[in-house]
Amino acid sequence: MRKILSTVTPVALLLLATAGATQAASNAQITITGNVVAATCDVSLSTNNLDLGNHTPADFAAVATPVAASVKTFTVGINNCQTPLADGDTANLVVTGQTLGGNPNMFNSTGTNTGVMLSLASTPSAYINNGDKLLVATAGAVPAQSDFNGKTLSLQAGLASTVAAGAEIGAINAPILFSFAYN
């Protein structure tokens, strides 16, 4: 009996050790992305949070028209830019964020019928859609870093609803990303 135990014990220990290792094993995966681009710039905002205030459903007089009292201005700019490669090259900002269904220019991630509409301050009634590319600067005849560095756009944000005088009560949250795009 002692001989059987001495031959079974190492096998049993090996099986227990293997079983314990199998249960403790786990997997991990990472996806790493990047881009190779012709030139880069850093994007900056005049503010990271913009509070458009409190408004009642009655304040929303027209469909997809910002409440005048909610409209606020902010700037987005580019800096630390590399020298443009050629005359006429452009520095752009791509605007992305979650929008309300059927309303590509009404940003909101909370699911109400009210969102944030953006426009350039210079053209306040031309609203920016998700995915739009905004021209910030164009390289001159002899491209230089100063063609892009320090250039800004003045934008307006305002609250609007998909229905007149029927805005749903609740908080609006609209994370909007501005990404640099060369040409």
Q: Rg of the chain's alpha carbons, rounded to an integer?
A: 28
Name the band, by pLDDT with cuts 50, 70 and 90, for residue 6: low
More confident residue, 8 or 113: 113
User: Which tens digits make up the pLDDT trace of 112-169?
Assistant: 999 999 999 999 999 999 999 999 999 999 999 999 999 999 999 999 999 998 899 9
Please, which residues bridge with residue 137 across strands? 91
Region 77-88 average pLDDT:
95
Q: Which CATH superfamily is domain 42-182 in?
A: Fimbrial-type adhesion domain (2.60.40.1090)
CA distances in angstroms from 37 to 66, 124, 167, listed in the order given:
36, 32, 42
pTM confidence score: 0.80
Q: Residue 2: pLDDT above 60?
A: no
Scanning the structure block, which residue is given the tokens 């309303």? 103
Give the up-direction half-sphere exposure of residue 145: CA atoms within 13 A in the CB hemisphere.
Answer: 7
More confident residue, 7 or 151: 151
Quote the pLDDT of residue 39.
82
Q: What is the DSSP letter of 130?
A: T
Other residues' Cβ atoms within 10 Å of the Cβ of residue 50: 15
Please, which residues bridge with residue 115 across strands? 160
The C-alpha atoms of residue 119 and residue 51 are separated, in whole angstroms, by 16
Name the band, by pLDDT with cuts 50, 70 and 90, for residue 100: very high
Which amino acid would we find at residue 169? I
Alpha carbon 158 to its chain centroid, in Å, reads: 18
The C-alpha atoms of residue 177 and residue 123 are separated, in whole angstroms, by 20
Q: What is the DSSP letter of 69?
A: G
User: Which tens digits make up the pLDDT trace of 25-81?
Assistant: 789 988 888 888 878 899 999 999 999 999 999 999 999 999 999 999 999 999 999
Name the band, by pLDDT with cuts 50, 70 and 90, for residue 181: very high
The C-alpha atoms of residue 154 and residue 20 are separated, in whole angstroms, by 61
